[in-house]
Structure 1
Amino acid sequence: MKTIITTPHAPAPIGPYNQAVLTGNTLYTSGQIAIHPTSGNLVLDDIESETKQVMSNIKAILTQANMSFDHVIKATIFISNMDDFQKINTIYGSYFDDATAPARETVQVARLPKDVNVEISVIAVK
């Protein structure tokens, strides 16, 4: 059995998918990019502000599912330029305690939706 998780505090999907799906105690988020949920505009001023918007979107989805970053067990980060890795990592890392940070992979890709620079998805468990 699955429950679709949606919130107006994260951007609406730009395709045939949902913001997240909860099955049992496990939440799977779709990849989030730096779309501001209210304006619908991309936040692309710099990689730090872009990553902060992505993490804010993830936080909104986690909150809607009555979870927090403490519940995240796995993250996947797609980036368009590995030279941005350290800046993205610094922002991403500020949302987790080092001792309980989730498992993760970071992959450089040729292109991301709407030509953004970073996309992140997470799996969380209550």
Structure 2
Amino acid sequence: MSKFIFKSFNVVSAPKPIGPYSSGVRVNDTLYLSGVIGIDAKTDKLVNGGIISETEQIFKNIEILLKANDSSFNKGLVNAKIYLDDISNAAVVNEIYQKYIKPPFPARCMVEVTKLPLNAKIEVEVMALINQCRL
């Protein structure tokens, strides 16, 4: 029987979780990151400036979490889930998304929700592989 690795983690340079959960979980060579909102790790507060500032901060935070686990947007990302408080912001989010994530794009969904933690405008959850390269 193969060895099963299950490890939850937080990363010092990324924002702390705001509830009873880990920033992510590693199961063998797969990372499952918890939903990330636009919190600045230095202040532990949601960044000001609305959807653009929050989205930029989210992708910076996710990048930190991926790198800390030997992964990256273009090396291991296989799935992204994006939750918006207003789906009319999809075009703005897509523009920022493409600054960080290049083709071939991972699987993804984007949905509008009623409310997000700390009244954030966006939350992003991802799944990525460790030590793998997307074609």
TM range (shorter): over 0.9
Provide structure 2 residue ranges, at least 5 long, that are not aligned to the other structure.
131-135
On the 8 A contact 1:4/1:21 being kept in 2, the answer is yes
The offset of 1:44, in angstroms, is: 3.0
Q: Which residue pairs with 1:84 in the alignment?
A: 89
Q: Distance in 1 between matches of 2:44 and 2:64?
A: 15
Tell me the TM-score normalised to structure 2 length. Answer: 0.89
Q: Which residue pairs with 2:51 in the alignment?
A: 47
The offset of 1:9, in angstroms, is: 1.6
Could you list the runs of 4 or more consecutive aligned residues of structure 1 that deviate by over 3 angstroms after TM superposition?
none
The offset of 1:20, in angstroms, is: 0.6
Task: Show the 5 A alignment for 1:32-111.
Answer: 32-70=36-74, 71-98=76-103, 100-111=104-115
Name the one with the larger helix percent: 1
The offset of 1:5, in angstroms, is: 2.2
Q: Distance in 2 between matches of 1:96 and 1:114?
A: 26
Tell me the TM-score normalised to structure 1 length. Answer: 0.95
Q: Distance in 1 between matches of 2:123 and 2:129?
A: 21
Further displaced range: 112-121 or 44-53: 44-53
What percentage of aligned pairs have identical amino acids?
34
Provide structure 1 residue ranges, at least 5 long, that are not aligned to the other structure.
none
Aligned residues: 125
Matched, 1:15 2:30: no
For residues 33-54 of structure 1, the C-alpha deviation after alignment (integer angstroms, 9 at most, x for no partner) is 0000111121131311110000
The alignment yields a C-alpha RMSD, in angstroms, of 0.9
Q: Distance in 2 between matches of 1:122 and 1:41?
A: 21
The offset of 1:101, in angstroms, is: 1.2
